[in-house]
Amino acid sequence: MSTKQQTLKAPISFSGKGLHTGVEVTMTVNPAEADTGIVFRRTDIEGQPLIPALCDYVVDTSRGTTVEAGGHRVSTIEHIVSALWTLGVDNALIDIDAAETPIMDGSAREYAAAIAATGTVDLPAERKFYHVTEKMVYTIPEKGVAIILYPDDEFTVSLHVDYNSKVIGNQYATFNPGDDYTGKIAPCRTFVFLHELEPLMKRNLIKGGDLDNAIVVVENPIPDEQLAHLKQLFNKPDIEIKSGYLCHPELRCNNELARHKLLDLLGDFALLGVRIKGRVWATRPGHFANTEFMKQLKRTIRKAGEKPRFTYDCRKPALYDINDIRRMLPHRPPFLLVDRIFHRDDSSVGGIKNVTMNEPFFVGHFPE
């Protein structure tokens, strides 16, 4: 992977309906300058507000990742961000004329194909990386969710899903440097269990969902009347249940569900805003866990980047030693609370207090 930041060589446009809103939307991904990051621009709103695709702005993760800034949202961003980031696009300005990205066929296949066909160009600025230096863990024990990040020289992912489903079983997927994202991961579609459909519809979601953009898992046999209802609901008279899936069309690979979870994870991890050098192991990941882990990681990065106000070097002579201090402030132990001053400027002073186990001041305050 290039060490330089990259952007697209030319704009690319997509049109379709939003998965949850069902609204027709046009989205154009434009090249952008270095250090722009991936940013959405709502062209349907006065002033065309900008909404950065960063974990700090994530406000909802129910059946997709939603970002918000200034009271304006864009939802279901994970597929386009996954394709851009994984295929090397660090900077893009995405014009969108609705509140949700087009779901296309439920995968990132069309996004990835267009990005690959258009190509990328290097920018003058260097890419930003976070080098993982120690193991980091995020878990939701009651849901069996675990994401672990280990130190490594490259970004790799090993992912496992197990929903206690006799249809899905245990599925695994991996991503390594040099993998064919466009052919291996991008074509894998989103999925839903049949028993989840009614609740989602009652919550006014998946208005744009159909069997052309989602896989439906059928855990238990259903009566003919329900199948007939589904055919009518999706306007697909030829659908049938095969091996536990409401197939229209067939699955694209035997672990398509795990690969789609990998697609989502790559998109959600891109919301960190810097590229990761580390090895990921994920069990039953989802948008909430992915984005919360990125928020946790971002706090760690910020903390590591905070420089201490003063730097003390015991090898350098003190500005004021204990005797200088006693002449200025004629106290005696236990109230001689500073042993040396190593820094002083117009607005601040830095000092050292050495504490020993027989320090008289502390005996009364912390007995034994």
Residues designated as active site: 287, 365
Tell me the three-class secondary structure of the chain, residue by residue. Answer: CCCEEEEECCCEEEEEEECCCCCEEEEEEEECCCCCCEEEEECCCCCCCEEECCHHHEEECCCCCEEEECCEEEECCHHHHHHHHHCCCCEEEEEECCCECECCCCCCHHHHHHHHHHCEEEEEEECCEEECCCCEEEEEHHHCEEEEEEECCCCEEEEEEECCCCCCCEEEEEECCCCCHHHHCCCCCCEEEHHHHHHHHHCCCCCCCCCCCCEEECCCCCCHHHHHHHHHHHCCCCCEEECCEEECCCCCCCCHHHHHHHHHHHHHHHHHCCEEEEEEEEECCCHHHHHHHHHHHHHHHHHHHCCCCCCCCCCCCCCECHHHHHHHCCCCCCCCCCCEEEEECCCCEEEECCCCCCCHHHHCCCCC
